[in-house]
Amino acid sequence: MLIVLTGRTAAGKDTIQSQLLLKYSNVKKVITTTSRSPRIGERNGVNYFFLSEEEFRRKISQGEFVEYVEYGGNLYGTYKSEIDKALDQDSIWRIDPSRAGQIRDFIKQSFPPETAEKILKGLMVIFITCAEDVILQRLKERNLPEDEINKRMRDDQLIWNKYQQNYDRVIVNVPGKLDQTIEQIVKLIETKKTGL
């Protein structure tokens, strides 16, 4: 299986991913790539693959990425080789909602038809959302400027309007009820695995 975890800004995607990886010790995290500098405590090959912008752009031109995007002045993307591994091992891929909304097209464009079909058969895109006031509060707690908060909220809405039909499941992450959120996702995964 390839579980794509996406959703609104500040909806708790990273926390959910961490919990799922703890619960399923045999599930691999798809490590994405960025041109931004590592933050304190981040390790290459664990949190991200860190590349210079020049190296990132070279790898784009060599067709090494399934998808990539420029965000906040930095490049982010996913190596094809990381998705290839999902054919042999259940994987969780945490990705931006605009990219997740187009993920089936990216896979079809990046892999030979037979490989793409295998990946898509085990694919499930889960969109995590949260109450509007909770998102606003979390963004304020991150000390983001007002215009950045407004932009993120607007972008979230635009992406949802454009791609909502491409997400397989929508899960509401209720504050203080993380266990319930994880339980819902685990049920979805188990059901999907039974059908494969």
- pLDDT tens-digit readout, 32-56: 999 999 999 999 999 999 999 999 9
| CB 103, CB 123: distance < 8 Å | yes
Whole-structure pTM value = 0.92
Distance, in Å, from the CA atom of 108 to the CA atom of 103, rounded to the nearest integer, reads: 9
What are the backbone dihedrals phi and psi of residue 152, each rounded to the nearest 5 degrees, phi first?
A: -60, -40
Tens of pLDDT along 119-166? 999 999 999 999 999 999 999 998 889 998 999 899 999 999 999 999
Rounded to the nearest 5 degrees, what angle is found at the Cα of 99, between the Cα atoms of 140 and 107?
Answer: 155
- Dihedral over Cα of 126, 76, 36, 161: its sign: negative
Bridge-based pairing of strands 123-129 and 28-29 is: unpaired
Q: Which domains does the chain have, with CATH numbers?
A: 2-190 (3.40.50.300)
